[in-house]
Amino acid sequence: MNDLTPPTHDERVANLKGMGHSRKRVEDARFTQGKGNYVDDVKLPGMLFGDFVRSPYAHARVVSIDTAAAMAVPGVLAVLTAKDLAPLNLHWMPTLAGDKQMVLADGKVLFQGQEVAYVVATDRYAAADGVEAVVVEYSELPVVTDPFKALEPGAPVLREDLAGQTSGAHGARRHHNHIFKWEVGDEAATDQAIGEAEVVAEEMVYYHRTHPCPLETCGCVASMDKINGKLTLWGTFQAPHVVRTVASLLSGIEEHNIRVISPDIGGGFGNKVGVYPGYICSIVASIVTGKPVKWVEDRMENLMATAFARDYWMKGKISATKEGKITGLHCHVTADHGAFDACADPTKFPAGFMSICTGSYDIPVAYLGVDGVYTNKAPGGVSYRCSFRVTEAAYFIERMIEVLAIELNMDAAELRAKNFIRKDQFPYQSALGWEYDSGDYHTAWDKALKAVDYDGLRREQATRVEAFKRGETRKLLGIGLTHFTEIVGAGPIKNCDILGMGMFDSCEIRIHPTGSAIARLGTISQGQGHATTFAQILASEIGIPADSITIEEGDTDTAPYGLGTYGSRSTPVAGAAAAMAGRKIRAKAQMIAAYLLEVHDDDVEFDVDRFVVKGAPERFKTMKAIAYAAYNQAIPGVEPGLEAVSYYDPPNMTYPFGAYICVMEIDVDTGVHEIRQFYALDDCGTRINPMVIEGQVHGGLTEALAIAMGQEIAYDEIGNVKTGTLMDFFLPTAWETPHYTSDHTVTPSPHHPIGAKGVGESPNVGGVPAFSNAVHDAFRAFGLRQSHMPHDHWRIWRIAHDLGLHD
């Protein structure tokens, strides 16, 4: 072959590096060389620094705040309190859940670490010294950190600002610490099915409070230019356009005069969706001083005061026939929301998508009720690497399947297979209202069981139990099974919004005359590899190599309006917007190609990177040639240029699923566990970049490991955070992280333009119950039915102790 030989079809496909290609992440070149641009890298002339005085108490009156000594500290320029913000009506701010939250403590504090005053200084050291010099007098109040005790008649009144209000954003309040009661499903029919059932299993399933703990903490830089009246805000924002809208509503600055920039972000996982007091105070400080103001929280502040995750007490009942066919599911949740309801959930779903709690199973009737409760804990309710409480829902149903298997004395794998939604039932309408798009659960499950030699593992486990009873070993074997279904891709404007903004997303594409391109999207990457994978989608759609396509996000002055990145919505929504915009480009390119080839539009067809004449493929025009012609030829009936914009409103969510199996050995004398094998099969529909998918799965499983096996935000009886440093809050290192075996099936979504469903959060959703079920399964033969996460060494040792295995 010589250099003049035209490339083959396969060579042209390979050159595109489009969908299905394991293309290396283009972002990594700058990250691995220390050339990333994060919020703390933003340095502006005359920049000031902000820091918070935070409450040491979980519940106390603020008797007085003396700022005189702080103002005398060299470099301190201002100390803001609620009294300073009140004239601007900024001492409280709306939350994304329809509640309101103190920006700075107004009269009292409601959780340890709450923001009391904001010190502005010429450098971070002076700001820290100023914080130490502020004198706050507190009067302690009774503390309640238990949501059940918070609802008792004599419980302390936490939210005095809501005194006398019997209803909130989501309906009636039945107690002064009650936020809402949200219900879905048919409770009467569910209770009837359970009451008439042959077998019923009941259990309280607790998903403990944890925290995303991203590598980069939250922060911002606010810069108000009083000359042109424009506010620029750099920040760790997962939804920069929404932040711009909120900033406009709060500040009164017209939205076109606000520019929000999300630079590189060192992990989000839901922690950076909401609006924090640091953002508001920095904006106010910049307006007051006329200088840029930076605020970056430290690690303890991040763990104590920024948005938490989980904290769901889920009381379940599940019924079945003696043969194991599920007949009903009842779930009541007591949801601990902390001091303020600041959950970033779609407006119509105050408990997020918890109603996916029927999971992968064909359950004829179900009911879900959720009571939101105020306590003296930090607010937030972050969907930590999951789509709006899907992780809680998956954990609940997978634990209930396990306890039902115990009640039936049935193998848990068999019970699952007996109740899976069948392939021919899709699209499937769940008992709680969701329409699952597609799935082939039995194929995935059979593949997973075969891959790990499930029958052989059960024989080994039985042999191990007998050896343990004979005193020949002190290690038990647990097999943790999970089959989960997610609901991601929020979402359709008809039922998903945040603060009234429909959860569509967007893409704008501009093809340059020389055949390269730039695409701007309303999302923002926090490590998902958007610059790599979105370019691959467009490469396949428009026939320009991925290496010739630049992806831009995170600047509200250039990107089209979008609802951001969280809840695995990037590919299902923004990826669809990119594909649809690409098809608009291709449609115009087809007209240009037909003109250049002197044939009718219908006589040319797209072929990888060009348009060819039907029946005469030797006659063609490449996309590069078409792009050049779009700018230098007058084509009748066609505007010059080659650009397109798409705002995509999905017709439905997408429903990725997976089958996970964890094989774990546990030493009953120490509580130490060893993960011998972890098999993860994911079905995310069309796979864009297998290598990126594998990286997402490995990362998500490691976070799931942390949550299930030790990660916890714990409080003592007076509301002190006991796990506020990385000495106490478990983050797995390479030492604790096991080897993962990833696998897949492909069931495309029928309504998504490229059939993709999303995968970034699946491993966290499915991983947690797999790890937890392995612990439970190891002790099942000795009578264990249910224990609460996290399963650290001490708690596992306690399980063995309470079962009498140390005697």
Active-site residues: which are they? 238, 385-386, 761
Q: Which of 274, 778, 303 is nearest to 564 (CA)?
A: 274
| Sequence-distant (≥ 6) Cβ neighbours of residue 346 within 8 angstroms | 352, 388, 490, 491, 495, 496, 497, 498, 503
Using H for helix, E for strand and C for coil, what is the string for 676-687? Answer: EEEEEEEECECC
Q: How far is CA 200 from CA 368, 401, 403, 606, in A?
A: 17, 11, 10, 58
Q: Is the dihedral of CA 147, 153, 158, 159 positive or negative?
A: positive
Helix locations, 142-267, DSSP H: 147-150, 187-195, 240-251
- Let me know: does 180 contact 171? Beta carbons within 8 Å: yes
Q: Would you tell me how many other CB atoms lie within 10 Å of the CB of residue 202?
A: 15
Cis peptide before 94 (omega within 30 of 0): no
- Let me know: does 373 contact 334? Beta carbons within 8 Å: yes
Q: Would you tell me how many other CB atoms lie within 10 Å of the CB of residue 773?
A: 27
Amino acid at 211: H
- Let me know: does 347 contact 386? Beta carbons within 8 Å: no
Q: Which of 359, 317, 314 is nearest to 195 (CA)?
A: 317
Q: Which of 795, 794, 790 is nearest to 210 (CA)?
A: 790
Whole-number Å distance between alpha carbons of 576 and 640 = 26
Q: Which of 691, 535, 543, 753 is nearest to 13 (CA)?
A: 543
Whole-number Å distance between alpha carbons of 589 and 753 = 19
51, β-bridge pairs: 119
- Let me know: does 445 contact 359? Beta carbons within 8 Å: no
Whole-number Å distance between alpha carbons of 565 and 387 = 11
- Let me know: does 79 contact 130? Beta carbons within 8 Å: yes
Exposed e or buried b per residue across 526-547, where buried means at least 16 C-beta atoms within 10 angstroms of its C-beta: bbbbbbbbbbbbbbbbbbbbbe
Chain-centre distance for alpha carbon 336: 19
> Residues 376, 58, 64, CA angle at the centre, nearest 5°?
125
Three-state DSSP at 199 gives: strand
CA trace torsion 497, 703, 309, 170 (10° rounding): 30
Classify residue 759 as exposed, middle or buried by CB count within 10 Å of its CB (0-12, 13-18, 19+). buried
Whole-number Å distance between alpha carbons of 466 and 806 = 16
Three-state DSSP at 259 gives: strand
Q: How far is CA 238 from CA 142, 202, 273, in A?
A: 36, 39, 5
Whole-number Å distance between alpha carbons of 656 and 570 = 14
- Let me know: does 55 contact 138? Beta carbons within 8 Å: yes
797, β-bridge pairs: none
Whole-number Å distance between alpha carbons of 547 and 23 = 10
Whole-number Å distance between alpha carbons of 448 and 460 = 18
Three-state DSSP at 373 gives: strand
